[in-house]
Chains A and B, each alone.
Chain A
Amino acid sequence: MADPGSTTVPDTPVGVVDRFVGFGHALREHGLPVGSDDVLNFCAAIAELSPGDPHDVYWGGRTTLVHRRDHLPVYDKVFRAYFLHVPTPPDKPTPAEHPAPQGSTGTLHIPDSEPGDEPGGDQPLVLGLQASSVEIEREKRFAACSEEELARLRRIMARIRLEPPRRRTRRQTHSRAGARIDIRRMARDAMRLSDVAPELRRIDRKERARPLVLILDVSGSMADHSRNLLQFAYSMRRAAQKVEVFCFGTRLTRITPALDRRNPDDAMSLAAARVLDWDGGTRIGASLDHFVRTWGRRGLSRGATVVICSDGLDRGGPRQLTESMEKLSRLSHRIIWMNPLIGNDVDAPPNTLGMLAAAPYIDELASGHDLASLERFAARLPTAGG
């Protein structure tokens, strides 16, 4: 909060209005979306208060010109500079000053979990191998995919019928086989056709796209599959609005904004650039815990179908995985675990410690080891869990 101090605003009426309008402009220059109606509102508010009282000017402006909590720090700063003549540090470009992301877009700050685990240059990561039986093949990295490979994959992926899962809402609509009688329509009919017994009209609840959260394992042991999964995530994101995509190896990265690029190649390379731990080790438990604490609690996965794509080869302890899976299952509608290692035998018992730890909280298993299984998965998704 700015401390208005003892400065007063000039009190000639014309000067005052100019000064207040100028304040609106100053806010706009600093990136706040201040419209003319807001400035009018501001002036009207000041007229009800006392224009000479800095407290009134501060609070009157704050309530009329600011519509988001994130914008408050910028407002405070501009207010100080404009009315109290406290200079703004010139070296800071202000529009980028918005504090930690609050909404659905933004970047994620990831703590350095293991300093020694940074993927350095192109050297193979030995750490990842402890958990993975698959040899790391650097060429398989998604970032290194050739244009040709990408295009081919994209063509195939585009053919998969992608539809987000649906859920029933509380809103109702006409339906022939609905469960409830539409008394509203029947009353109207009855009044129009007085003698004839009205036809039975029914309504049912509408369906809506259910949010989908994809959490992809891009660690070393998944190197064969990670680019397919990412392409799958991209297609999914294109097909539906409420899709969030995260990647993890040793740490969790939100790549949803990167996938919004229109050009698929741009989107993929941007997403690839965001993920710092391609083909490294796996810490599923810690990554899921991070997801639950940072995103799940805020309601990102509420009512959502969460798809975790991982082989379950976890370098962290099974305890943390169990705990975070339990929390996740309480924060989301349904958890589908896609494990490429299980192949076509979806009913096979869990084969790794990670899968064993997670198993009680998984609602459905899928494989996703080849295109056919991805297609099967996509076909089942709309009705998964109703």
Chain B
Amino acid sequence: MSEATADGSPASVPELQQRLRSRGYLAGRGLATTAFIGLRLGQPILLEGEVGVGKTELAKSLAAVHGRELIRLQCYEGIDTHQALYEWDYARQILHVRALSERELTDSDAVSGLYSKDFLLERPLLRALRSGGDAVLLIDEIDRADDEFEAFLLEFLSEFQITIPEIGRVAATERPIVVLTSNRTRELHDALKRRCLYHWIGYPTVDEELEIVRLRAPGVANKLVEQVVSAVHQLRDMDLVKPPGVAETLDWVDALGVLGGEKLNGEAAADTLGSVIKDRDDLELVHAELDRLVADG
């Protein structure tokens, strides 16, 4: 991350594409345009798409390109402001109060010291505000959080400031780059979507995926890569519970690379199928079709 350009953001969409590429991330024109506008206008980017198409990866690559710190907030059901924003370290505060009262130090300084930054536990959102322009804030899998949290996030993303009653207002001097991802397990609220630039990441075409695999796994034999990508594209056309994403393609190539070999054959495919297919029903379906999948490649 250290040798990344600190001389400002890219001047055009192709330049951003080029820089992302040098970090091993292949962004299509549409995704790069969204990211570029987001950077320029300081707007959050909302990425939706199938599992494993590189939503989270974009945030990591953007951080690397800009030499910024990646701050990640993983959403889950029941997440609330104490886990996302900040919390007072209550146990330490109580100990401190004990210590103060034993020494009978109860002047106003001692009391206000209780609410100093020493006792404040920063959580990702507050940290992103403080880091401002030095951070990329990734709010991952926002669809897992409940709607109360979504409403809170809406407020946060429109103002980029929060008020801590005991300390005061904390505002970002410069807006961090914000990337939100969603797997669409539920529909997000329209108000939140309107705050964001929206981009749907679909599965890549065969050519794009070949390029991605070659970029990420340079040492693997060409023939093998072609066969794997062709097989994965056929798998996506089958009626599977969990169609493989790009991440699975890369995993599969890695797994086959470990086994060694220049070509994909039925036996190697069967042994490594677990890295692409993650559902028992799917496995049964695919095993029956395996020879055809490999032969066509």
Contact = CB atoms under 8 A, between A and B. Distances in A.
Interface of A: 1, 33, 35, 37-38, 41, 44-45, 48-49, 55-56, 59-60, 62-64, 66-69, 72, 102-104, 169-171, 183-184, 186-187, 190-191, 194-195, 297, 299, 327
Given A170-B78, A171-B78, A37 B40 contact: no
Contacts of B93: 187, 191
Interface stretch (B26-34, B250-258, B266-274): B26-34
B7 interface: no
A169 B147 CA distance: 13
Q: Interface of chain A, helix or strand or loop or mixed?
A: helix
Contacts, number: 92
Counting contact residues on chain B (CB < 8 A from A), the size range is 35 or more
Contacts of B37: 45, 48-49, 60, 63-64
A63 B187 contact: no
Given A67-B194, A191-B97, A48 B90 contact: no
A385 B272 CA distance: 39
14 contacts: A1-B30, A44-B41, A45-B37, A45-B40, A45-B197, A48-B37, A49-B13, A49-B37, A63-B199, A67-B194, A67-B198, A102-B187, A169-B146, A170-B77
A194 B187 contact: no
Contacts of A195: 101
Contact of B91 (A55, A183, A299): A183
A44 B30 CA distance: 17
B86 interface: no
Given A37-B194, A49-B37, A190-B97, A183 B185 contact: no
B106 interface: yes
Contacts of A60: 33, 37
Contact of B29 (A41, A59, A102): A59
A41 B90 contact: no
A105 B110 CA distance: 58
A194 B37 CA distance: 54
Interface string B144-164: 001010000000000000000
Contacts of B43: 41
B294 interface: no
B283 to A, nearest CB: 14
B23 to A, nearest CB: 21
Nearest to B192: A67
A187 B90 contact: yes
Contacts of A187: 88, 90-91, 93-94
